[in-house]
Structure formats: structure tokens, C-alpha cells
């Protein structure tokens, strides 16, 4: 398979947003925390809170309100739609030192997991710089989409994949995916109503179409990495690539779809259940703590110096960022 990585060609104008220092100055609480969250999207009506609906944000805020005895607003790295899963969603919230007195990262994690729906889990709790935003401070997001091509229903993964049921030409899909790498106007890949009057240029660092094996069954994984995503952008990309893989369109069709800047030019919106919000990248120490392993359990509270107070200590630390944002676009709706 070809290497679809590409060098970013430029920096687009971005909507103005408050800096971390400005957000810290406006923060009404002593400290900010980041939660890494995984969930089965099937029972949830999406991430964003909705009256009378089971949502991921609603569950997290309900649990936090029980622990902190007040309403606790949260910010996520990307609002997933109904049925979309997450392995590495990140959510931030603010709290006062006194509210979390005596709690460690591990005890807070356990308390939250005891209170939220069983289809939702908090995997890590990290002290972040005061004013940190899971959305605005993210520098990269990764989604993965699972496809099954066997001519029978994948009963063990029916709610985790799109059962295409036919062989796919992975070389053709890879060639089509190469057109999507780089900075482009992805208006053709965005839900039309969500694109109205909003910037639709995004930077996609990588689109890979790879064979895989899941529980002994052959499958295909589409991996998409970029700075931010539009509403239904990844699912529309997958639907378009599948049309190429089935031989209904040629690999160069994706370039034509991009140029059209019209949602009707692209392929179908792939089913929600095959999509997983895989990970979010951040700069510096916070990014490393959320990136894997159990270092988050041993990290001091705070990790970022005495200006980020915590219940446990006021230690020092921090590091220079090692990941740089490609463009400054804020995420808008759906997959971001």
C-alpha cells in the first residue's frame, strides 16, 4: 500500500479564539482536569447533552455534579454522533482545590466509573494547565473505521463495523485516499446543513486503507488522522472510498468530489457503528500522559507547575510541546 502521508502546504486563516493564558484568567475555578473516555456509542444519542436523551456528556456531567455537588460543564475534543464509538475521547472540566480535597487521580477515576452508565468508562484522569480546553488545545485527532467484506453478517461485530459483504480493491481505495491528504476544502464531505456559512478547510495528515484480522475474520480498517473534522466528514470519506473499492468509481473520483465542494458529489455516509474516535493528541506533558501507559497514576498534582493548583500538591514539572498544530480551525459539529 502506498504511503499517504503528506507535508502540510500552508496555514489557513483560523477563527479567533482565546489563548490559554486568557482562558486561565477567565477560569472561575482553581484548576482544570482532563478525562480520557471510552464508550460504546450504540445506546447513546451522541456525545452532546440533550434533554431527555442518554448522552455521553450528560452522563459525565451528572457524575461530576454528584461528586462536586454542583453543575459541572464539560468540553470535549470532538462531539461524536449517535452510534459512533470512542476509545480515546478527551473531556475537560474546571474545579476548585477544596472540591477535590483528598482525592487522587485514581480515586476520582473510580468514583466517576461507579456513577456513569456501564457502556461508558473513564480510563485516565490528568491535571491539566488551568484553562485547558479539550477542544481548542487538541493538535491532532484520529478516527478508525472497520469494514467487513465477507458475504455473511459479522454477528460478533455487527454493532462495530459496516458489513459491506463484497470484496474491496484496497489498492484502488489507497490511490483514492491519497487525494484526500493535505489541506483541502472538505465541503463535499460535510453534512450540508452544518457547512452553511462556516469554514470547511481542514488539514488531513494521513488516510490509510489497511487489511486487518478481527477475531480471525478478514477485515479492512480505514484510518484518518487530521487536525480537525467536519460534521460526518470521516463517514462520508469512508463511504466515498468504499464506492471506489467496489469498482463503482475510479480512484481519481475523490479529487473530483473535493473540487465540487458539494455534498451531493460524494459517496454515501457510512453507517455510524463502524466508526471509532481513536485518539486525540496534545502538546507536551499532558499529551504524553494521555498517550498511553500508567504514568498518569504517578503524575504529580499538578504536572504543570505551581500555577495549576491541585488537591494533592503544588509540584512542578511540564515540558516543551513536541506536537504542533497544523491549522487553528475550531471543530464544528459531528466528527471533529
Q: Are residues 292 and 206 in the same domain?
A: no
pLDDT value of position 198: 86
In a domain, residue 76? The reply is yes
Beta bridge partner(s), residue 96: none
Q: Is the Cβ–Cβ distance between 244 and 162 less than 8 Å?
A: no
Q: Is the Cβ–Cβ distance between 150 and 157 less than 8 Å?
A: no
In a domain, residue 304? The reply is no
Long-range contacts of 66-75 (CB under 8 A, 24+ apart): 66/115, 67/108, 67/111, 67/112, 67/115, 68/95, 68/99, 68/100, 69/99, 75/133, 75/134, 75/135
In a domain, residue 168? The reply is yes
Q: Are residues 107 and 194 in the same domain?
A: no
In a domain, residue 303? The reply is no
- Cα–Cα separations (whole angstroms), residue 254 to 82, 86, 194, 230: 26, 27, 21, 17
User: What CATH number corresponds to the domain at position 190?
Assistant: 3.30.70.660
Q: Are residues 293 and 181 in the same domain?
A: no
Q: Are residues 114 and 155 in the same domain?
A: no
In a domain, residue 235? The reply is yes
User: What CATH number corresponds to the domain at position 90?
Assistant: 3.30.70.580
Tell which wins on pLDDT, 311 or 302.
302
Where among 275, 309, 331 does a domain terminate? 275
pTM to 2 decimals? Answer: 0.86
Residue of 3, 30, 40, 81 marked active site: 81
pLDDT value of position 302: 47
How far apart, in whole angstroms, are the C-alpha atoms of residue 134 and residue 94? 11
Q: Are residues 156 and 258 in the same domain?
A: yes
Q: Are residues 162 and 204 in the same domain?
A: yes
What confidence category does residue 335 fall into, taking pLDDT thresholds of 50, 70 and 90? low
How far apart, in whole angstroms, are the C-alpha atoms of residue 128 and residue 92? 8
Q: Are residues 111 and 187 in the same domain?
A: no
Taking 60 as the threshold, does the pLDDT of residue 319 lie above it?
A: no
Q: Are residues 179 and 191 in the same domain?
A: yes
In a domain, residue 205? The reply is yes
Task: Count how many domains the chain has.
Answer: 2
Domain span at 128: 20-137+282-298
In a domain, residue 129? The reply is yes
How far apart, in whole angstroms, are the C-alpha atoms of residue 228 and residue 336? 5
Residue 331: closest CA among 293, 285, 283, 277: 277
To the query of whether residue 81 is one of the catalytic residues in this protein, the response is yes
Q: Are residues 129 and 162 in the same domain?
A: no
Q: Are residues 116 and 159 in the same domain?
A: no
**Residue-wise pLDDT tens digits, 31-63:** 999 999 999 999 999 999 999 999 999 999 999
Amino acid at each position: 500500500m502506498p504511503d499517504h502521508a503528506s507535508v502540510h502546504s500552508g496555514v489557513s486563516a483560523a477563527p479567533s479564539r482565546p489563548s490559554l493564558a486568557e482562558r486561565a484568567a477567565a477560569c472561575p475555578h482553581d484548576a482544570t482536569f482532563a478525562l480520557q473516555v471510552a464508550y460504546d456509542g450504540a445506546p447513546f444519542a451522541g456525545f452532546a447533552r440533550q434533554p431527555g436523551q442518554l448522552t455521553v456528556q450528560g452522563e459525565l456531567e451528572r457524575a461530576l455534579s454528584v461528586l462536586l455537588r454542583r453543575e459541572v460543564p464539560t468540553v470535549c475534543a470532538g462531539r461524536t454522533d449517535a452510534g459512533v464509538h470512542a476509545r480515546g475521547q478527551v473531556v475537560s472540566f474546571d474545579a476548585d482545590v477544596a472540591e477535590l480535597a483528598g482525592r487522587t487521580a485514581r480515586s476520582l477515576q473510580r468514583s466517576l466509573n461507579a456513577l456513569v452508565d456501564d457502556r461508558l468508562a473513564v480510563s485516565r484522569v490528568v491535571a491539566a494547565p488551568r484553562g485547558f480546553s479539550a477542544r481548542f488545545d487538541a493538535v491532532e485527532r484520529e478516527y478508525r473505521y472497520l469494514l467487513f467484506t465477507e458475504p455473511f453478517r459479522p454477528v460478533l461485530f455487527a454493532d462495530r463495523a459496516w458489513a459491506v459483504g463484497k470484496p474491496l480493491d484496497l489498492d484502488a481505495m489507497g490511490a483514492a485516499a491519497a487525494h484526500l491528504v493535505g489541506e483541502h476544502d472538505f465541503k463535499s464531505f460535510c453534512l450540508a446543513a452544518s457547512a452553511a456559512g462556516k469554514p470547511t478547510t481542514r488539514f488531513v495528515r494521513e488516510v490509510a486503507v489497511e487489511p486487518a484480522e478481527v477475531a480471525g475474520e478478514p477485515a479492512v480498517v480505514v484510518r484518518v488522522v487530521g487536525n480537525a473534522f467536519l460534521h460526518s466528514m470521516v463517514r462520508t470519506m469512508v463511504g466515498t472510498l468504499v464506492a471506489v473499492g467496489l469498482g463503482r468509481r475510479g480512484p481519481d473520483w475523490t479529487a473530483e468530489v473535493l473540487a465540487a465542494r458539494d455534498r451531493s458529489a460524494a459517496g454515501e455516509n457510512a453507517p455510524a457503528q463502524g466508526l471509532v474516535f481513536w485518539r486525540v493528541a496534545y502538546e507536551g506533558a499532558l499529551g504524553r500522559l494521555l498517550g498511553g501507559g500508567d504514568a498518569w497514576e504517578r503524575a504529580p498534582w499538578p504536572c504543570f507547575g505551581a500555577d495549576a493548583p491541585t488537591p494533592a500538591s503544588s509540584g512542578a514539572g511540564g515540558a516543551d510541546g513536541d506536537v504542533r498544530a497544523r491549522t487553528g480551525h475550531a471543530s464544528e459539529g459531528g466528527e471533529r
